[in-house]
A and B are shown apart, each in its own frame.
Chain A
């Protein structure tokens, strides 16, 4: 149980375009989802906390206008990287929990390459 599906697993886009990444909880409802970013050989950095039906909470230093998060339902959160630039190339990974104190269940991540 507690499966999180993330799509796409990899994407290559041109500089200036926007990319949408989807995160779905398949067998549980997730009122809260978390978006992380990971640079090569580094740890996961929390970007934002996505709350169903309300605005996302962004971490300090994360541009909310660049990384748009929408949590439209209890099973879906999306991250849109707007006007992507090469420095946005990274591994983006979402996570959710099925109850308050449960471990985070992660999607398989999305490798974004901006050319």
Chain B
């Protein structure tokens, strides 16, 4: 079973509008972390936002917010006031533990976001 599922291969959003990128996860650990990264066409991975499994408040970082619904095992990224520079691939990732107790970070398949002027 996929640990991280991103069901939207591609998304379009109008400039200045908000957009939600979906992410669901699967883990049996009680302690885990969820991340969102942005990957522009140049290839670098840019960290956007983090949510810990014990954090009660949804994480926010500027125009980015993470809609964390623990019972549903979802961690959707919301980008408000989209800008042309937001066009990129977006990856959801989860940090949990493997069978040997070591931390691992697993990435979803990504969502390609295109912002339309």
B109 within 8 A of partner (CB): yes
A7 within 8 A of partner (CB): no
A54 within 8 A of partner (CB): no
Q: Count contacts between A and B, CB distance < 8 Å.
A: 50
Q: Is the CB of B106 within 8 A of A46?
A: yes
The interface-forming segment of B15-23, B39-47, B66-74, B79-87 is: B39-47
From known contacts A43-B107, A44-B91, A44-B107, infer whether A109 and B44 are also in contact, taking CB-CB under 8 Å.
Answer: yes
Within 8 A of B (CB), among A66-109: 91, 93, 95, 100-101, 103-109
Using CB atoms and an 8 Å cutoff, list the residues of chain A in contact with chain B.
Answer: 32, 34, 36, 42-46, 49, 57, 91, 93, 95, 100-101, 103-109, 111
Using CB atoms and an 8 Å cutoff, list the residues of chain B in contact with chain A.
Answer: 33, 35, 37, 42-45, 47, 50, 52, 91, 93, 95, 102-110
